[in-house]
């Protein structure tokens, strides 16, 4: 049964178009999908259906009941997977950078979902099984992902993520040298008010986001940090460190507007990195069936380890 989300318009959000407000609250949905929700009556303002261009007023109550997502016909593809752990209930994958997790516009094939479908059908010999991907990593981010093999396990894992019982540890190399050896970044995030592919701390409908970090090693022009996520917002680490003034090395989306006085040799090295220096190195959760606490570690991929060595 579709779940209804209720939102309240704050004074600072007054005058925002209804479609922009809803799109900011649901960053995983496209703008065209939000327009379909509004046109179909799945979005109401104080109990009434309004047009997408409706200008919101303070204290108006927005109810959003997204329809079930349109089914995407996945084609199994024999893409090699690095399987870290697998049993009858779930599988833990070490995803390489460059692999998109979910199919979408322009990415109908060659995704992790396609690879998982092939893997799971091969293991189960069933044509009906579908990968239950519980969380995501950006295309350029490598590291650990857990995938459910059935709906009950999927729900159990999703509950743990929602209740913040899952431990997620990342390694990131950031530009510059943060002042403090450790810290918390507690700045709400949401869809960028003008650029839909970006997230921002200046969103019209931000959501709580908490990132903790500690410095592992300082280099001349970079800093290696260990990051722990307490929320799972899109691009959270990348946006939070950009907000600090220390964006992730190799991330073109959140460093293009900032300039750093890097040496010519460092600039040359960054051009050869070809990906953000961000790796999901640790993952821990309770097995939904056995209740046993499972912990997994992933070493830095070779290209990131070699880049660190080049900074010595």
Supply the DSSP symbol for 49: E
- Contact at 8 Å (CB) between 283 and 296? yes
Sheet strands side by side (includes 61-64): 5-8, 61-64, 43-45, 48-49
Give the 3-state secondary structure of residue 273.
helix
Rg (CA), the chain: 21
Sign of CA dihedral 50, 55, 60, 61: positive
User: Is 19 assigned a catalytic role?
Assistant: no
The string of DSSP codes covering 77-97 is ------EEEE-SSEEEEEEPT
Using CA atoms, how far apart are residues 28 and 23, in angstroms rounded to an integer?
A: 8
Catalytic pick among 19, 39, 94, 138: 138
Burial of 18 (0-12, 13-18, 19+ CB in 10 A): buried
Cross-strand bridge partners of residue 225: 172, 215
Cross-strand bridge partners of residue 228: 169, 212
Cross-strand bridge partners of residue 231: none
**Alpha helical stretches, state H, the chain:** 18-25, 31-40, 112-124, 151-162, 236-244, 264-273, 302-310
Using CA atoms, how far apart are residues 149 and 21, in angstroms rounded to an integer?
A: 35
Q: Annotated active-site positions, please?
A: 138
């Amino acid at each position: 049964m579709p779940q209804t989300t209720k939102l309240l318009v704050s004074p600072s959000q007054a005058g925002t178009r209804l479609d922009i407000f809803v799109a900011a609250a649901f960053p995983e949905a496209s703008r065209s999908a939000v327009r379909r929700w509004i046109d179909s009556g799945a979005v109401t303002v104080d109990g009434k259906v309004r047009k997408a261009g409706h200008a919101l007023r303070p204290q108006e109550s927005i109810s959003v009941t997204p329809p079930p997502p349109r089914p995407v016909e996945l084609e199994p593809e024999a893409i090699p997977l690095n399987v870290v752990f697998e049993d009858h209930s779930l599988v833990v994958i070490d995803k390489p950078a460059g692999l998109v997790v979910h199919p979408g516009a322009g990415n109908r094939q060659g995704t992790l979902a396609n690879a998982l479908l092939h893997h799971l059908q091969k293991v189960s010999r069933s044509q009906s099984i579908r990968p239950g991907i519980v969380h995501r990593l950006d295309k350029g981010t490598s590291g650990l992902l857990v995938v459910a093999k059935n709906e009950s396990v999927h729900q159990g894992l999703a509950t743990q993520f929602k209740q913040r019982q899952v431990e997620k540890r990342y390694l990131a190399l950031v530009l510059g040298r943060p002042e403090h050896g450790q810290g918390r970044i507690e700045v709400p995030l949401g869809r960028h008010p003008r650029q839909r592919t970006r997230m921002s701390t200046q969103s019209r409908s931000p959501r709580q986001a908490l990132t903790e970090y500690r410095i592992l090693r300082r280099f001349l022009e970079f800093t290696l940090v260990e990051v722990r996520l307490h929320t799972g917002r899109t691009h959270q680490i990348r946006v939070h460190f950009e907000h600090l003034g220390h964006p992730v090395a190799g991330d073109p989306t959140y460093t293009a507007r900032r300039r750093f006085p890097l040496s010519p040799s460092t600039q040359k090295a960054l051009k050869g990195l070809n990906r953000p220096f961000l790796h999901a190195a640790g993952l821990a959760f309770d097995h939904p069936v056995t209740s046993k606490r499972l912990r997994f570690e992933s070493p830095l991929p070779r290209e990131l380890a070699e880049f660190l060595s080049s900074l010595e």
